[in-house]
Every structure is written in C-alpha cells, then in structure tokens.
Chains A and B, each alone.
Chain A
C-alpha cells in the first residue's frame, strides 16, 4: 500500500484510471468525456507538483524510488523500478504540463470519436511518464515501445490526408531503432546480471569490446526518436499529418524521449564511448541545425515549417548534450523544455488558424494582424521565443548550449559552435519570414476578412506556455538549480575519460 502513495506510482496510475473511467462513459456525451480527460490530466499535473515539493533539489541521485520484482528469468530479475532525478524531473513536469494544454486545444478541433481520442491521449501520457520514470532497462523499453501505439492511432484515425502513411512510417521508423536497443539491453542485462540502470553506471568499462556496439545500438534508437539528421524523415510526415494536440505532444514530449535517452543510457553507461563519439554527434547536430533551418525556410505549409524547425532546434539539444560539460548539458536540458513550450505553442497556433481556414498554406494568408490582433500578438511572442530573443526562454537555452559547445573539450572544434550559431540567425530568418507572410501587409484573401479572433479558451491554452516562457527568459535560475546536481554527477562519470583524451 505504501507503494501506491508514492507520487511516481500515482503519476502512472492517474492517466490509466482516467482511461478506464472514459471507457465506462457513454461515447455520445462528448463534453463530459472532454471534461473527464481534462480533469484527469490536471490531477496528474497536480501530482507532479506534489512530486516536485518532495524532491530534494540538492540531491544529485535518484529520489522517491519504488522497486518491486516483476519477472524472473534465470538468475536475473526485471524490476518495476521507478525513480526521478534532476535529469528527468523537468521532463516529467513538462509532460504533465503539456497534456492538459493539448487536451484543451482539442475542444472544438476533435469532433468525432472524442472518447477514443481522449483515451489514447491519456494512455500516451502514462507511457511517456513511464519512459521518464523507469529505472529498469526492460521497464523503460516497455514504456518506450508502448508510446508508439496510442500515437499511431492518434495520427492514423484523427490525422490529415496522408495519415496512414505517416502513422505507419512513424511506427516502423521508431521500432527499427528500438529493436536493436532491445538486443543491447538483453545482452547487457545478461552480461551484468541486472537490468537496473543505477547499477549499470559506467558499465562500458567492464565490457570494453562490446561497449562501442552497445553504445551504437542505444544511440540509433534515440537518434531516430530525437530525430537527428539523417534519420529525421519520419518527423515532417508525422507532424504534418497528426492532429494538433498530437503534434504538440509529439514535438513537446515524444522527441525529448530520444534526447533523454542519451542522458540516461549512452552517457552514464558508456562514458568512454560517449567522449569518443561526441565530435561526430556534434557534427550531425550541426548539420541538423542548418539543414532543418534551411528546409524550414522553403516550406509553404506553416505546419511543415514548424516541423523542420523542430529538427533544427533538437540539433541544439543534441549539441548541448554531447558538449559533455555542465554548461552544454544544462543548456541542452533547458532547451528540451523550451522547445516543448515554444514549438508546442507554435503547433497550437497553426492548429487554431487551420480550424478557421482549413488551410495552412502561407500564400493563403497575409495581413492577419489586422483581422486577428490577439492572434497576431501571441504568435509574435511565440515566434520571438522560438527565435531566441533575449528575455525569452529560447535565448537562455541556446546561449548556454553555444557557450557549452564552444568551451567543450569533448567536441574539440569551435567551428561546431560557430556554425550552430548561424542556426540562430537562420531561425530568425525563416520564422520572421513566415510571420511577415501571414500577418503583415494587406489582407489579400477575402476569406480572411471575416476570421474571428481567438476566444477565451484558446487564449487560455496559450497563456500558460507564454508565462513559463517569459519566466525562463527572465529568471532561469530555479530551472538550472534543479538539474545542476544531477548534471554534475553525470559529468563526474565522464570527466576521467575527458582528461585521458586530452
């Protein structure tokens, strides 16, 4: 019973209980279904705040842990092991924070099969939380693969025109990476006699011959999820075809699972390989930053533009992580949050205009500022945050990452940071270009003249994102403080190998 009162267990149980409750409700009562889903996700958010209260931010280790034996095979046991630390706590809160916002955004956008939509959404939340909380490799894998199923249905049933293609591509791409990861997990677990992550720290040193292959197997799974160039091709399809709320969660949380995987598996388990691989990851990250930005610039569909901007922004995250110094890692983790907020908001905005006009082509718009001033203002704020204007969240994250990459001994070429910095400029180019096309100038299309500005519910979905964006922009200290001890602990694992290389 004491285990049930653990905030982490509750975090998993609340969305599942919500799904069950939804299942009992009659599907015809759509607004009741929506409210139940929203309340469930709000309760889960409250629970995550309760977890935050109990979290000791000075403690670098895993906290609030639960560990129960789950299944036995030979001499090794798979545990139901949950815990949270400075690396994962922000991701957990990001998940519980974005889910109610995403649900609120579907109020009028999803009209058919509302019950199924909400049920899959809550299942997805449980899966994502499980990924960030699991401390047993197999349990992690279970949640990791499980998240595919609800997302597959969200895209496939409620998606756009090419939904089937996008859903299947999403599923197969992610699965192709994770199967090799499963093989690596099994090999590692058998070799070491445990699947428990805390016990496997630095395990690469005990299996030097296999460490490189194991590292690659994990890295492939995570690189596909992030997605890193050149494994990103599933992302634009999935993003564009997914319903708005699905895109928000996909960009906001699901991609972060990949970056988080690097933090949780590749670096602590194989620090020596991570150090060697860092320059290559930095290279791919920089290519991703520039390629994503350049591709975003030529898009005519706004949603596609935002999707490619994700590739670019996630490049920053990976660059920060593989700087393998405190600045880079902290910036990387913060940028994961920032990207969740600003790209989430961008997808919401795109969804709002799509609901009104049923098109996302830039040339169908122009001069919207005059018709929808509130929409224009909020979009400008979000765009500026995504561009990295000082005073807003994006700047803090990207600046810290660039500092980290510039001073990184692991990456060891400053060109990476310099090229990455051009990504910031390119982001300004494509996003402001988009803004100019859609909002400025005269109203060219008659269909746009009668558009209604945002209603209270829509403003309410955007407001929390903007408040936190400004908060991080002006006062990021608490965010850095909560992750710093865990990041330092991670660096301590890597440090010996850094000095060996130099």
Chain B
C-alpha cells in the first residue's frame, strides 16, 4: 500500500475514521445535547463530499487495481453523501418526536455511506462484495432502530435474512466468475474475455448470479419481496435514506460490472434485463395502487422506479446508445433520489409521535395547516408521476428516449403505460392533501421544513433547466465506465 493508493480511497477512509470517532465522542455528549452528534455527523459527510469532489476529472486505480476513483465514483459519491446529510436532517427531528433518538444512528449511517462509496469505487468483485456488506450491515441495524416496535423488528429481520441471501448470490457469482476467468478484477475479466481464455458458460452463469444479487439490492421484481415490509417497518428517515442509498449503490455495482466488465455479454443479458425491467415497472406500479399505507405505497413506487432505471441498462449492447443510456440511468437516479428523499421527509414530518404506520388518509387536509409541506409533497408526487415541467418528467424522458433509441419501443410503451397506473396512486396523495377535509399536522421544526422545501425547489429547477444534470451525468461517464 502506497500513499497514492490511500489517496484514491481518501474520502471513504476519512468517513470510516470519522464514523468510528463519532461513536466514541458520542459517549461523552450529554443526553440533552445530542444535536452535537447530528452536527458532527453532517460535518463528516460534508467534508467527505468535499474530498470526493476533489477527485473529479482524474482517473486513478489503486490497491492492485482493486479500487478506482473516476468521475463515475465521484458522481455517485456526491449523491450518497448528500443523501446522508438530508437523512440526518430528517432523522434528527423525526427520531426525537417518535422517541427513538438513539444516537448510534449517526455513526451507523456514516458507515453505510462509506460502504456505498466503496461500492461506486469498486473495480474488483471482492471489493464489490466487501462494499455490499459494509453498506448493508449498518442498514440492517438501522431498520431495527425502532425496536421494540414490532414492525421495525420484523423489517430488520426480514431485511437481514434476504440481504444475506442476496450477498450469497453475489459471492457465489464471484466464485464462478473467478473459476471462469482466473481473476476477480474487472480489468482481468475483460482481458480474459478478449483473449478468449474465459469459460463462457460459467462466466454467464456467474454474471447471472451477480445480477440476481444486485437485483435484490435495487428491489427489482421478482427479488422485491422484502421491500414493502422493510420500508414500512423501518423508521421513516431510515427508509428514506435506504430508498435512494441502497438502490443507487446497487445500480452503481450493476453499471460498473455490466457496462464496464461485461460489455461483450450485454447482448446475452439484454433480454433478461428487459424482462426484469418490464416486470418491475408493472408489478411495482400495480401493487402500489391497492396500498393504504403511505409507506408501503412508496415502497412499491420505489420498486417501479427501479424498473424504469433498469430499462436504461437494456440497450448496453448497442455501442451508439450505451453512453446515453447509462447517463440516463444516472440522471434518473439523482432525480429519483431527490424526490424520494423529499417524499420521505414529508412522511417523517407527518408521522405520529408514537411512530405508528401512516396511512394515505392520515395526510387529509395537510394543505390547510402546512401549505409549504403540502405544496412540496405535491411537487414530489407530480414529479414521480412524470408531469412536465418537473425533473421527474425529464428523467423519464431520457429513459424512454434511450429505450426507444436502443430499439426497445415495446418496453418503453410498457413503461409509459405503467406510469399511467402510477398517476392514480400519486394523485391519491394529492387528493388527500388538498381535496379532503382533515386535521393532518406535521412537525414544525424548521430544519425539516427547510429541507423539504429546498428539495422541492431543486425538483422544480431541474425541471426548468433539465440539460445540466444530464450533461453532468455524461461527464461522469467520460473517464472510465464506457
């Protein structure tokens, strides 16, 4: 290990050290001053964000080509750290109101973010596995943070068992690929495919197992069963963070592995991913319609959105479409991330003090007392639906366009029609907010209110100036992935 190796992993290493110290420091902070822990956690993420942005524009590999720092990793790391910061802001208020203010939350969240950042930097399947564990284990604990609430315990156990199962798939896939190519580094795998030394059937089976493992993480149908229970049971701020963080990390691995290491397998995998995407969009949206709990509804909606993003990974076999398609996936990830964080922020603010499940009906009449929260939630729902001129529309625009460009018009039409279904349940939220009389209240803490409104403004701004984000996503792919 040399200094340059360490520089590549500097943001991740810094965050891990900071998180470990935070665990210790937290012991010495008085109970009524735990806001300091939250601030320290935020500061750690902010510094990490700065460190990772410093890596923009260059490409370097380290630790015997096991990790890489390039624009792609910086782009995603930015998303992870910002999501972490928003999650802390949301969580501080929510956890205090619902009486589960356990300050391990902050350190665990930081560990998880570090795992996600390692995932985006992984250039070796072993690192992919390591990152997967590092990001997942803290999330298992976070999901159970609200124990003794039964839902939280159930969610945590379920998440842990199915997560472990998924890790098994990834590990087994890695083993098979190692058998097929005598290596686990992505560069080595590429070389082995190119020279023809790889055992193709074994490699394909291995890659398929990896796909299964990652599909668990991004909650693609039919590997989505855990999602509604976990999303419903976990404390809302944790769910908000999970819904973007874990999903984006899964997609980071998918994009890294399938567009960097296996471009020659893209042809074989295109139909499989197309079926996954179609199923995920349809099942996610249709199942969301009948949900009465807002949290379950958003869980199914997050499944559906994973389907949209998967759609962008179908045309990877077509070199002229591949660059745009990956950039579309990244763009949508960011747009989805902002929207989902916003929606979960509102749920966290509305949630009762006893932390009971929030039903769609519980949002009735929110607009009366909390016009800003209601307006922001409306923007999030309309953006999820894909109504122009909000960011969600352009996200879908890019995705559907890339699917059509790659020749998958039918898939795009399935996606478009399933988003019609989604309009039904997103509109139901708006109906509750504005059209129904009710006494819904929400937290008046300025932190959560400001965060929500800011996220809504970003959705609006990205909607009016849509090209900037896509251009950034293209740059993120400029040195490395494709």
The verdict on A187 contacting B404 (CB below 8 Å), with A157-B435, A164-B435 known, is yes
Known contacts A172-B420, A187-B409: does B388 contact A153 (CB below 8 Å)? Answer: no
A72 and B467 within 8 A (CB): yes
Is A190 a contact partner of B405 (Cβ separation < 8 A)? Answer: yes
Contact bitstring A160-191, B, C-beta under 8 A = 1, else 0: 00011001100110011001101100110010
B350-404 contacts to A (CB < 8 Å): 382, 387-389, 393-394, 397-398, 400-401, 404
Q: Say if the beta carbon of B470 comes within 8 Å of chain A.
A: yes
Does B387 contact A145, Cβ atoms closer than 8 Å?
yes
| Pick from A145, A179, A186: contact of B401, CB under 8 Å | A186
Q: Which residues of A contact B471 (CB under 8 A)?
A: 72
Contact yes or no, A142 B393, CB < 8 A: yes
A73 contacts across to B, CB distance below 8 A: 324, 398, 401, 470
Beta-carbon contact of B412 and A186 below 8 Å? yes
Q: Which residues of B contact A249 (CB under 8 A)?
A: none
B461 interface residue per 8 A CB criterion: no
* Alpha-carbon distance A164/B436, docked complex (angstroms): 9
Report whether B405 and A183 are in contact in the complex, using a CB–CB cutoff of 8 Å. no
B434 adjacent to A157 (CB under 8 Å) = yes
Residue pair A156, B393 in contact (C-beta under 8 Å): no
Taken together as a complex, chains A and B put the C-alpha atoms of A146 and B387 apart, in Å, by 7
* A149 part of interface (Cβ distance < 8 Å): yes
Are A74 and B324 closer than 8 Å at their CB atoms?
Answer: yes
In the bound complex, residues from chain B placing their C-beta under 8 Å from that of A175 are 420, 423
Contacts of A153 in B (CB 8 A): 434
With A73-B470, A145-B393 known as contacts, the answer to whether A183 contacts B416 (CB < 8 A) is: yes
Find the B residue at minimum CB distance from A157: B434
Number of interface residues of B (CB under 8 A): 33
B424 touches A (CB below 8 Å): yes
User: Nearest Cβ distance between residue B423 and chain A, in whole angstroms?
Assistant: 6
| CB closest chain-B residue, reference A69 | B467
- The 8 A CB mask of A35-61 against B (1 = contact, 0 = none) is 000000000000000000000000000
Contact B470 A71 (CB under 8 A): yes
Q: Does A494 belong to the interface (CB within 8 Å)?
A: no
> Chain B interface mostly helix, strand, loop or mixed?
helix
Q: Are B416 and A182 within 8 A (Cβ)?
A: yes
Cβ–Cβ contact B466 & A71, under 8 A: yes
Residue of B nearest to A74 (CB): B324
Query: Could you tell me if A70 and B467 are in contact, using CB atoms closer than 8 angstroms?
Result: yes
Q: Is the CB of B388 within 8 A of A141?
A: yes
- Closest partner residue, chain B, to A144 (CB atom): B388
CB-CB < 8 A to B416: which residues of A? 179-180, 182-183
Determine the distance from Cα of A103 to Cα of B427 in the docked complex, in whole angstroms: 26
CA distance A152 to B423 in the complex (A): 12
Say if the beta carbon of B419 comes within 8 Å of chain A: yes
A186 and B404 contact, CB distance less than 8 A: yes
Kindly name the residue among A74, A138, A148, A172 whose own CB sees the greatest number of chain B CB atoms within 10 A.
Answer: A74
Q: Mark B446-473, 1 if CB is under 8 A from A, else 0.
A: 0000000000000000000011001100
Q: B405: which A residues are within 8 A, CB to CB?
A: 74, 190
Instruction: Report the minimum CB–CB distance from A218 to chain B (whole Å).
Output: 14
Q: Which of A149, A168, A183 contacts B409 (CB 8 A)?
A: A183
Contact partners of A171 in chain B: CB under 8 A: 423, 427
Q: Is the CB of B424 within 8 A of A190?
A: no
CB neighbours of A70 from chain B (8 A): 466-467
Asked if A142 and B388 sit within 8 Å, CB to CB, the answer is yes
B304 to chain A, nearest CB (A): 15
Find the A residue at minimum CB distance from B463. A142
A73 to B394 Cα, complex, angstroms: 11
Mask, B405-424, CB within 8 Å of A = 1, is: 10001001100110110011
Interchain CB contact under 8 A, A183 and B423: no
Nearest residue, chain A, Cβ from B431: A164
CB distance from A126 to the nearest CB of B (A): 11
Note all chain A residues with C-beta closer than 8 A to B382: 149
- A73-B324, A149-B382 known; A172-B435 Cβ under 8 A: no
Task: Check A190/B413 contact, CB under 8 A, given A149-B382, A168-B427, A179-B419.
Answer: no
Per the bound structure, the CA–CA distance linking A141 and B324 in Å amounts to 22
CB <8 Å contact, B400 and A182: yes
Q: Are A183 and B413 in contact (CB under 8 A)?
A: yes
When the two chains form their complex, are residues A179 and B412 in contact, meaning their CB atoms are under 8 A apart? no
**Nearest A residue (CB) for B320:** A74
- Complex Cα distance, B33 from A160, in Å, reads 52
- Chain A residues near B417 (CB-CB < 8 A): 176, 179-180
- Binary per-residue interface labels of chain A (130-143) against chain B in the complex, 1 for a CB within 8 Å, 0 otherwise: 00000000100111
Residues of A within 8 A of B324 (CB): 73-74
Which residues 205-249 of A sit at the B interface, judged by CB distance below 8 A? Answer: none
Given A73-B401, A145-B388, check contact A172 B423 (CB 8 Å): yes
Q: How far is the CA of A167 from the CA of B434 in the complex (A)?
A: 12
Contact with A along B15-41 (1 / 0, CB 8 A): 000000000000000000000000000
Tell me if A172 and B424 are in contact (CB < 8 A).
yes
Interface string of A383-408 (1 = CB under 8 A from B): 00000000000000000000000000
**Looking across the interface, which residue of chain B has its beta carbon closest to that of A191?**
B404
Residues of B within 8 A of A176 (CB): 417, 420
For B412, what are the chain A residues with a Cβ–Cβ distance below 8 Å? 183, 186
A142 and B389 contact, Cβ closer than 8 Å, known pairs A72-B467, A153-B434: yes
In the complex, which residues of chain A have a beta carbon less than 8 angstroms from the beta carbon of B400? 182-183, 186
B301 to chain A, nearest CB (A): 17
A156 to B437, CA, bound (A): 12
> Per a CB cutoff under 8 Å, which of A143, A149, A168, A190 touches B431?
A168
Question: In the complex, what residue of chain A is closest to B323 when comparing beta carbons?
Answer: A74
Interface positions of B (Cβ within 8 A of A)? 324, 382, 387-389, 393-394, 397-398, 400-401, 404-405, 409, 412-413, 416-417, 419-420, 423-424, 427-428, 430-431, 434-436, 466-467, 470-471
4 tightest Cβ-Cβ pairs between the two chains A and B? A71-B467, A142-B388, A179-B416, A156-B435
**Residues of chain A having any CB pair with chain B under 8 Å:** 70-74, 138, 141-143, 145-146, 148-149, 152-153, 156-157, 163-164, 167-168, 171-172, 175-176, 179-180, 182-183, 186-187, 190
5 A-B residue pairings within 8 Å (CB atoms)? A73-B401, A152-B427, A157-B434, A164-B431, A167-B435
Q: A164-B431, A179-B416 are in contact. List 6 more A-B contacts (CB 8 A).
A: A73-B398, A74-B405, A145-B393, A156-B430, A179-B417, A186-B397
